Amino acid sequence: MAGKYPVTPKGEFRWPHIMVADTTYKAEGQFHIKVLLSGTEAEDMQEIVDTAHAEWKKKCQQKSAKKWQEYMPYKLSLDDDGMEEGTEFHFKLKASGTNGRTGQTFTQRPVVVGPKNEPLPSTIKVGNGSIGKVAYEIAPYEHGTSLGIQLRLRMVQVLKLVEYVASGNADDVFDVEEEYEVIVEEGNSQTEEGQAFEDDGEEKSGDF
């Protein structure tokens, strides 16, 4: 289905921060996720990025003859035995900031849905090993002597959820306090930002 954004094939999620922005290195926060693809799917995705990069590099070189440092949003991934397992593609989205053209501040987040495009509650913790697809924008950039292509994260479709579980066991640290109770309300769902994904049932091939 032709949609607002291009969409990756199904892949394995690595280090997803798609529900809550990561503020470890950036105070304004950043949503990000890596998607592992292999075989012809990885090759096709890499070709899309390489083509966009080559076109952007040509434009930058026409403006300036300086020596450019180039950035590509993917890298080869090796397993624990040092064997090639595929290519990781890195998608990012700034959570907040100031628009350089208008001077207005903004906040944004990716839309996260399930197999049938149902919005997922923000309380769900999507972890490593989850399977899904990412809708993205190709965003060329130039800064100083650096140029490259960023894959701007827009939407995520989670097809198989592996929930993140923090390390450590609370039972090894705290005593059980029977006289107290915490009532947890259901979290807010993601708002819809246009149809990017097809309804993906369990056995559907997932072509977009």
For residue 190, tell me if it sits in a domain. no
Tell me the residue range of the domain where 92 lies.
Answer: 11-167
**CA torsion sign, 61 to 64 to 69 to 74?**
negative
Whole-model pTM: value is: 0.78
What's the number of domains the chain is made of? 1
CB-CB contact of 159 with 202 (8 Å): no
**CA torsion sign, 139 to 152 to 199 to 38?**
positive
Number of Cβ within a 10 Å radius of residue 123:
13
For residue 112, tell me if it sits in a domain. yes
* 96: CATH: 2.40.50.140
For residue 17, tell me if it sits in a domain. yes
For residue 203, tell me if it sits in a domain. no
CB-CB contact of 150 with 136 (8 Å): no
- Locate all alpha helices (DSSP H) within the chain, ordered by sequence: 39-63
For residue 133, tell me if it sits in a domain. yes
Local confidence pLDDT in tens for the 208 residues of the chain? 456 899 999 999 999 999 999 999 989 999 999 999 999 999 999 999 999 999 999 999 888 878 889 999 999 999 999 999 999 999 999 999 998 889 999 999 999 999 999 999 989 999 999 999 999 999 999 988 899 999 999 999 999 999 987 765 666 667 778 777 776 665 554 544 555 666 554 444 333 3
For residue 70, tell me if it sits in a domain. yes
For residue 96, tell me if it sits in a domain. yes
